[in-house]
Amino acid sequence: MKITVTVNGTDYTRVVEPRLLLIHFLRDELRLTGSHWGCDTSNCGACVIWLDETPVKSCTVLAVMADGRQVATVEGLARRRALDPVQEGFAACHGLQCGFCTPGMLMTARWLLDHNPDPTADEIREAISGQVCRCTGYENIVRSVLWAAKHDNAAEGEGDRHEPRLRAAPA
């Protein structure tokens, strides 16, 4: 099937098998390998991306279901070469070790902060509870998102925060 998917602001048209998973479309067809495959069963969340405005597990979405829709991945998170506050937060608070779950965690964290700019630690834990990290015990991920919330709010004062991410021009 011929599909056109907009990924991080760029349109990609490809002919794909109907059974192709979105995660494999992104990784193998587009070579956007930042999103990871981890479990087959929608348990681990290493493959979380945004489909339109919503975080989804891209191992459980067919590529053809993304036809004509907007996809955002970790590769689109940093803008104008500046890291997003959630990326900075993960570095500042040691929110990653092996880095395999990190892209999915970042995408969920960004979505959370866009919808709840000042979350509690419990709300962050709830938000990432569909994702598995085997390295951090989650504590530093929670701290990273709290850090990002604080610095997002600082950025908001500069009028920068609510620029739509999905429609941002490619870097």
Partner 1 sequence: MSHAYGPLPRKEDPRFLKGQGTFIDDVALPGMLHGAILRSPLAHARIVSVDATAARAHPMVVAVLTGADLAERGLAWMPTLFGDVQSVLATDKVRFQGQEVAFVVATDRYAARDALELIAVDYEPLPPLMDALTALEPGAPAVREDRPGGNRVFDWSAGDKEAADAAFAAADVVVECDMLYPRSHPAPLETCGAIAEYEATSGRLTLWSTSQAPHAHRTMYATVTGLPEHKIRIVSPDLGGGFGAKVPLYPGYVCAIAAAMETGRPVKWVEDRSESLMSTAFARDYHMHGEIAATADGEILGLRARVLADHGAFNAAAQPSKFPAGFFHIFTGSYQVQAAYCEVTGVFTNKAPGGVAYSCSFRVTEAVYLVERLTDMLARKLGMDPAELRMRNLLRPEQFPYTSPTGWEYDSGEYPRALQLALDMAGYDKLRREQAERRARGEYMGIGLSFFTEAVGAGPRSKMDILGLGMADGADLRVHPTGKAVLSISVQSQGQGHETTFAQLVAHELGLSPDDVEVVHGDTDRTPYGLGTYGSRSTPVSGAAAVVVSRKVRERARLVAAAMLEVSADDLEWRDGKWRVRGDPDQALGVAEIAMAAHSSLELPAGIEGHLDASAVYNPPNLTFPFGAYICVSDVDPGTGEVKVRRFIAVDDCGVRINPMIVEGQVHRGLADGIGIALMQVISFDEIGNCLGGSFMDYLLPTALECPSPELGTTVTPSPHHPIGAKGVGESATVGSAPAVVNSVVDALAPFGVVHADMPLTPANVWLAIQGRPVRTDLSFS
Q: Binding residues for partner 1, per CB under 8 A?
A: 17, 19-20, 24, 27-28, 31-41, 43-44, 46, 73-75, 77-78, 83, 87, 90-92, 94, 96-103, 106, 121, 124-126, 128-142
Smallest distance from partner 1 to CB 18, Å? 11
Closer residue to partner 1 (CB): 66 or 109: 109
Other Cβ atoms less than 10 A from the Cβ of 89: the count is 26
- CA–CA dist 124, 141 (Å, integer): 9
Residues in the chain: 171
Nearer to partner 1, 17 or 68 (CB): 17
Which of 120, 115, 95 minimizes the C-alpha distance to 50? 115
Min dist. Cβ of residue 106 to partner 1 (A): 7
Q: Which is nearer to partner 1, 81 or 159 (CB)?
A: 81
Question: Do the beta carbons of residue 106 and residue 96 sit within 8 Å?
Answer: no
d(CA 63, CA 30): 12
